[in-house]
Structure 1
């Protein structure tokens, strides 16, 4: 099978990363394929449509081309009834539809979706509080839980360890009321997600440990370490860049991985030399480029 070699960067607001939603594996792939087409400096119109080419999709996600269009059509049909539950500024849950319309071009093997207008602030024109990653890191995942758990971890790459209660994970994955026994939650959720995280093309090497209160397992601690030191970036024209710093952040003079990540985010709106921490400190006090 041909390797799909176009670089595609997914960029989502942290509110959407933390949102609760239930998507099948192919529904997640479809959404991320379209999100990766949104460039950070590209004006987004409410009626903008994003297209999915079945051939490219099959190459990117390493699927047999036979039947892919039908699979995508079924996934897109279900997306019309999918919601993401975000927390608004008042701390109240708000449900937002992913898409508002869909279109099929069967003769060309192409489908199109239009994001719901209320979803656009969570996937476009993001200048702060966002998470980005190369779509190739999730392209080999096989479970519906691997992608959302990966996104939770990659939101804080600098921590290398995060603990989530079982209740929080279930709210995130829309599994309230299911898998009440740990053995079932482990078998059907945690273990498949860990297999996805540790696939040979993934970003992390990951392990986990359980946290107990008495005899009950109440939380999961994930330990993860990026295999590559570079983090995907957009270039100054707003296009996915194949060039990223290859040295460790200490060698550029940054005081922490968190400060380096802050510099990466600032580089989206400011012109400065990312490989020099002093230039970052100067740029931090300046207004954004217009």
Structure 2
């Protein structure tokens, strides 16, 4: 059961909010968001067809229901924080999740406090086609894609850029103080794999990536992107026109060499995939 070309539309406050979800939780969430219609004034009960999610996102259908159901039920353990250290609000995604194993479906209700961020959006919002995020495997790719789509209109159909400090990235992704403590780890395990997937899988080309220093340390990443032409917009887009060389995943992260420690390689790969 394939999904139609559905649109995901969010307030920019939600794009830049602080939260942390697994890749499966992101798939479930955006499947539901894409069911909201522009004319809706209130949330409805939204049905999630688990087989459809599995097929569209390349998930093994054998254990898909158990895995996706578990991910959906745990979504509310990961609240969204909108605001800053001085003033903000913490919200849950769903007010309820009903499941029916016989039908292979979930029935979810968005938390009503999310209405200003998902309904009747007239300005200060970001939208994109759900098909562009369907094949992400890196847990961080979707959010970097949203950061870029948020700024795309500034390019007026041509190149545009996003600059994010490493502190902003750590905050928005809710990384603990011990995670990706070294800037090199944040670059290698988070930023570069995400940009590589975006360039290969979506309607955006990453044309340049610069890591900017403040003093002797990297302080921010400056990402230049542009919309792909219709002929290039596919998951197997040719990446030869990209000047970006920093987003190739080093082979020693995900491939086993003769002297590699298998458990160490699996740990490194899990940092990228989030699984």
**In the alignment, which residue of structure 2 is the partner of 1:272?**
none
**In the alignment, which residue of structure 2 is the partner of 1:196?**
197
1:13-92 matches, cutoff 5 A: 13-45=11-43, 48-87=44-83, 92=87
Point out where structure 2 has 5 or more consecutive residues left out of the alignment: 231-275
Give SS of 1:107's match: coil
**Is contact 1:12-1:130 (8 Å) kept?**
yes
1:107 aligns with 2:102: yes
In 1: Cα distance, 2:215 partner to 2:123 partner: 40
Higher helix share: 2
**In the alignment, which residue of structure 2 is the partner of 1:164?**
164
* CA-to-aligned-CA distance 1:10-50 (integer Å, 9 cap, x gap): 000011011111011111111100000000102324xx221
**Is contact 1:20-1:86 (8 Å) kept?**
yes
CA shift for structure 1 position 5: 5.0
CA shift for structure 1 position 214: 2.1
**Is contact 2:3-2:52 (8 Å) kept?**
no
1:161-240 matches, cutoff 5 A: 161-177=161-177, 178-199=179-200, 201-206=201-206, 207-228=208-229
In 1: Cα distance, 2:95 partner to 2:60 partner: 29
In 1: Cα distance, 2:86 partner to 2:130 partner: 30
**In the alignment, which residue of structure 1 is the partner of 2:242?**
none
Give SS of 1:80's match: helix
Give SS of 1:131's match: strand
CA shift for structure 1 position 187: 2.1
Deviating beyond 2 angstroms after TM superposition, the runs of 4 or more aligned structure 1 residues are none
CA shift for structure 1 position 68: 1.2
In 2: Cα distance, 1:70 partner to 1:208 partner: 39
**In the alignment, which residue of structure 1 is the partner of 2:248?**
none
* CA-to-aligned-CA distance 1:41-66 (integer Å, 9 cap, x gap): 02324xx2211101211222132322
CA shift for structure 1 position 176: 4.2
In 2: Cα distance, 1:69 partner to 1:43 partner: 31
Point out where structure 1 has 5 or more consecutive residues left out of the alignment: 230-290
Q: CA RMSD in A?
A: 1.8
CA shift for structure 1 position 137: 0.7
In 1: Cα distance, 2:14 partner to 2:3 partner: 27
In 1: Cα distance, 2:182 partner to 2:227 partner: 31
* CA-to-aligned-CA distance 1:238-257 (integer Å, 9 cap, x gap): xxxxxxxxxxxxxxxxxxxx
Structure 1 length normalisation: TM-score? 0.73
1:146 aligns with 2:168: no
1:100-139 matches, cutoff 5 A: 100-139=95-134
Cα distance 1:91–1:122, how it changes in 2: closer, same or farther (>3 A)?
Answer: farther
